[in-house]
Structure 1
Amino acid sequence: MTVLVTAATGKTGRRVVERLTAAGLRVRAGSRTGETVFDWEAPDTWAPALKGADLAYVNYFPDLAAPGAIAAMRAFGREAAAAGVRRLVLLSGRGEPEAVFSEGALADAGVPVTVVRGAFFAQNFSEGWLGEGLEQGEIAFPAGDTGEPFVDAEDLADVLVATLTDERHAGRTYEITGPRVVTFAEAAAEISRAAGREIRYIPVSGDEYRAGLEASGLPPAEAAWLTELFGTLLDGHNASTTDGVREVLGREPRDFAAFARREWGGGN
């Protein structure tokens, strides 16, 4: 069994590669500079990476709700079908209306697709852009007091591997969250307790956040799109949990407090 993993150096991609390799599967770790060259912005790299693959993990960058994502998913689905790929597992965003159209576009070519819709990653605090603010002791984000059921990327990777390696998940859609809803202020408090130093959550407006992104060098159009995306995701409609982890893995998801202790306190 040969599996193509796209975006193989990202938060979920590298974890999926590690798990599939440990399970004894042949893994093609697709990335811009790796042995298997794969670049979402270079469609000519898709077919060579897919050739001979039985399965593929599809993690589109920057997001399935981004401009151009629908066309990219439709084209990738056709390439996968032409290569004889048997099944696809697609990482999507929970509660992203635009992403649903991209999900459908990937399935249009007829290759069975499993859709895994993830909540906001807990690892965005440790491995993502929010981690930069933690060094200064603050988290500035336009979330207000909205809660989010942060999902541990370790749980998400376990789900992705399970759905890749078991054909019974073909055609299914799962929403994957953590076990409870946590506000950003509560997340900052959990990190503070684990790290032994104060981390403050600073709620900012969308305009303030966009201006900050532009000041850091992000192009205005991309800054505006990201701000709009976060505004959509954090309007309260995602402030609930699901039993997706339990449904796929038969166990409870990891709690945000456990994630914080593992990342900053050396705990489990």
Structure 2
Amino acid sequence: MNEKTNSTQQPTTSATAAARTVLVTGGTGKTGRRVAERLTALGHTARIGSRTAPVPFDWNDDTTWDAALDGVSAAYLAYYPDLAFPGAVESVGAFARHAAKAGIERLVLLSGRGEEAAQAAEAAVAEAGTGWTVVRCAWFSQNFSESFFRDAVLAGELALPTGTAVEPFIDADDIADVAVAALTEDGHDGEVYELTGPRLLSFADAAAELSAATGRDIRFTPIAVEECREMLAAIGLPGDFADLFTLILDGRNACLADGVRRALGREPRDFADFARDAAASGLWNV
């Protein structure tokens, strides 16, 4: 694959590729929004796949699938809340097979490292009968700025059940760049791209980076998984999200991978760069 040297903030795919209509499930989420923006910038049409979209899409309602796929040549599959949740593998597999029968040429699945259910979903997509690429990701850096941990950062305390375990946080911009390349370029079919940042950080390390970027004191406090479950439920999030921390605690993901470099020919963004840019954008302004 040719080396690519584009900015991390710009699409890395070729603007000369034939225009496509791409279904982007989770198109308003952290990665889906970025994928849609990049596709549009490259001259493609991004069809947002959500229950409230002009053409509704619902993972759990197969009567919405035909209309969402009409005229589409590729699809980005981002299952919410997570592939580890009950029913996800069945829904993703059924949709992938449906897409293959509808003549969809490429499916790009957003997956998670170290999740057995996610790997089952990967297999279901690979066996569906269409071109496919897996984008298997570490924890998103943007979890600290756009969703789960943002309020904790604003409060100055990351209270999480992670102890001293480490994670190679990946920037959502890198994920989107890889996904768009796989959706619009040749050479990515059948690839499993495991995406991580360039270094391992504990959550205490992440708190230190966030403190440096914001100029405020943000500390890390270890808590038990059950306490985390209760905290998540209190803010309206599924308590089962707490179980995902076990993927960090046992060390299975405490290693770096080269997926960004293999897919794009460049290195992934560092967490410090993410924190600096997020702070400058005002995402942590109270």
Q: Trace 1:3-152 onto structure 2 (pairs within 5 A).
A: 3-152=22-171
Query: Post-superposition shift, 1:266?
Result: 5.7
1:53·1:83 contact (CA, 8 Å) conserved in 2? no
CA distance in 1, matches of 2:42, 2:230: 45
The 1:48/1:234 distance shift into structure 2, 3 A limit, reads farther
Stretch moving more, 69-78 or 151-160: 69-78
Q: Give the equivalent residue in structure 1 for 2:181.
A: 162
Query: Post-superposition shift, 1:170?
Result: 0.7
1:52·1:85 contact (CA, 8 Å) conserved in 2? no
Are positions 1:251 and 2:270 aligned together? Answer: no
Give structure 1 stretches of 5+ with no counterpart.
Answer: none
CA distance in 2, matches of 1:233, 1:77: 29
Query: Post-superposition shift, 1:82?
Result: 2.0
1:52·1:83 contact (CA, 8 Å) conserved in 2? no
Q: Give the equivalent residue in structure 1 for 2:11.
A: none
CA distance in 1, matches of 2:253, 2:89: 23
1:146·1:234 contact (CA, 8 Å) conserved in 2? yes
Letter in 2 for 1:187: A
1:148·1:239 contact (CA, 8 Å) conserved in 2? yes
Stretch moving more, 42-51 or 172-181: 42-51
Give structure 2 stretches of 5+ with no counterpart.
Answer: 1-19
Say which structure is richer in helix: 1
2:248·2:254 contact (CA, 8 Å) conserved in 1? no
Q: Trace 1:170-185 onto structure 2 (pairs within 5 A).
A: 170-185=189-204
CA distance in 2, matches of 1:98, 1:123: 23
Query: Post-superposition shift, 1:43?
Result: 2.2
1:176·1:243 contact (CA, 8 Å) conserved in 2? yes
Higher relative contact order (CA 8 A, sep 6+): 2
Stretch moving more, 197-206 or 44-53: 44-53
2:37 aligned counterpart, secondary structure: helix
1:12 aligned counterpart, secondary structure: helix
CA distance in 2, matches of 1:4, 1:216: 31
2:122 aligned counterpart, secondary structure: helix
Stretch moving more, 34-43 or 176-185: 34-43
Percent identity over paired residues: 55
1:52·1:84 contact (CA, 8 Å) conserved in 2? no
Task: Determine which of 260, 267, 277 is the counterpart of 1:262.
Answer: 277
Q: TM-score, normalised by structure 1?
A: 0.94
Q: Trace 1:231-246 onto structure 2 (pairs within 5 A).
A: 231-246=246-261
- Runs (4+) of structure 1 exceeding 4 A deviation are none
Task: Determine which of 216, 226, 242 is the counterpart of 1:227.
Answer: 242
Q: TM-score, normalised by structure 2?
A: 0.88
